[in-house]
Amino acid sequence: MFSKLVAPHGGRGLVCALLSGSELEAEKEKAQGLKKIQISGRAKGDLIMMGIGGFSPLDGFMTRADWKGVCENFQMADGTFWPVPITLDVDQADADAINEGDEIALENDGEIFATMKVAEKYAMSAEDKKWECEMVFKGEGEDSVDGKFWEVAMDDHPGVQMVMAQKDVNLAGQVKVLSEGEYPAEYEGVYLTPAQTRRMFDERGWANVAALQLRNPMHRSHEFLAKIAIEVCDGVLIHSLIGNLKPGDIPADVRVKAIDTLVEHHFVKENVIQAGYPLDMRYAGPREGLLHATFRQNYGVNNMLIGRDHAGVGDFYGLFEAQDIFDRIPQTGDNAKDLLCKPMKIDWTFYCSECDGMSSLRTCPHDKNSRVILSGTKLRKALSEGADIPDHFGRDEVLVVLRAYYEGLTEKVEVKMQGAASGDSM
């Protein structure tokens, strides 16, 4: 069957580092005799994405030249677009015991996820880490301007905290991935590889596909965004993060159940596919919006829904900065190197009682007293505190699922409400 879908990023097709069959068994056996390096949950997710082709054309962790180019210019050393560094950090003692050219095993929580041939090791000073944070995480919101970024980032930005806590040396090199971890078993039918989604799109005859990125359960605004895309595209991939989140976020299995419930009752199912991907959230706002578009291209998606405060945290980013950044990224004219997945830029959406339906700032002429402001943070805060949920905020069937989850919690995490989620800046 001839595919009408957008080509994978990088011009080399799906680059999949995951081994199988006898090659996998042989590499697993060899890995037992290699020096074992403990890796973070973030690196585990990155490895799985390299394994299944989600990070095509990456086949390993970035060199210093790649790291610098990505931070500075959104491009790896060879000019291929990439928005966020994909690096592997180790402590100095491990780095001292490893030589360039060595093979090592990468282990997380007792399981070896990959082997790696070390091509380069390079120091990451505190100043290097700070520079990466400023390039990748600093935005145009009030927590980023007027010298405020470092006053608040170490307390309030989980992405900055993660980078600053990294160890002092990065290792670069090609990997061979040995495991997809818990995802195939725990999320059977939801955890899908790029090859699987592409095959599903092809079977449905889709050529023009949009993706809706989720780290929260779908409220009415998410539903409205997805339905806008369905009207103008062949179909929509509702694509949820099923890796690690920050404390207070709703876990993946609950979100999957809530989305299933919404699709069952409020969508034409033939026009929607729900899937999950195994990354940890980086909370990089606009840069992460670009990352979402980059790996969605590998999944066969050519339109990325970008709404208000996409992948944001706190008030570090402008409300629509994640849309604007798509207009500023480099274009080489080479489809193999450039980002081909384009943004669908949707204005702030909400329920308006005067309009008697879902609207946006582009279509609703009424003031905010008539509007139910929708956000995942606002929903989580209300649910966590047992507060009433305003009418038209979420579908009743979905709220039943979410209330059951919150009622079962023995420990509550305070959910902070920033301006981007409250609607104060509307």
**Sign, Cα dihedral of 283, 286, 292, 298:** negative
Catalytic residue flag (residue 216): yes
H helix runs in 53-193, sequence order = 64-73, 92-96, 126-136, 149-156, 158-164, 183-186
Contact criterion met (CB below 8 Å) for 275 and 239: yes
Instruction: List the catalytic residue out of 108, 170, 198, 215.
Output: 215
Mapping DSSP to helix (H, G, I), strand (E, B) and coil, where does residue 401 land?
helix
Residues 6+ apart with CB under 8 A from 65: 76, 77
Question: Encoding tokens for residue 209?
Answer: 């596909």
**Sign, Cα dihedral of 418, 419, 421, 423:** positive
Query: Using CA atoms, how far apart are residues 56 and 49, in angstroms rounded to an integer?
Result: 8
Q: Given the structure tokens 């990354």, which residue do they identify? A: 279
Nearest residue to 225 (alpha-carbon basis) of 238, 207, 244, 208: 238
Query: Using CA atoms, how far apart are residues 116 and 173, in angstroms rounded to an integer?
Result: 6
If phi over 0 gives left and psi between -120 and 50 gives alpha, with beta otherwise, what is residue 311? left
**Count of CB atoms situated within 10 Å of the CB of 177:** 23
**Residue 99 φ/ψ, nearest 5 degrees:** -110, 150
Q: How many residues does the chain have?
A: 426
Instruction: List the catalytic residue out of 42, 108, 170, 216.
Output: 216
Residues 6+ apart with CB under 8 A from 191: 180, 183, 184, 242, 275, 276, 277, 278
Known catalytic residues?
215-216
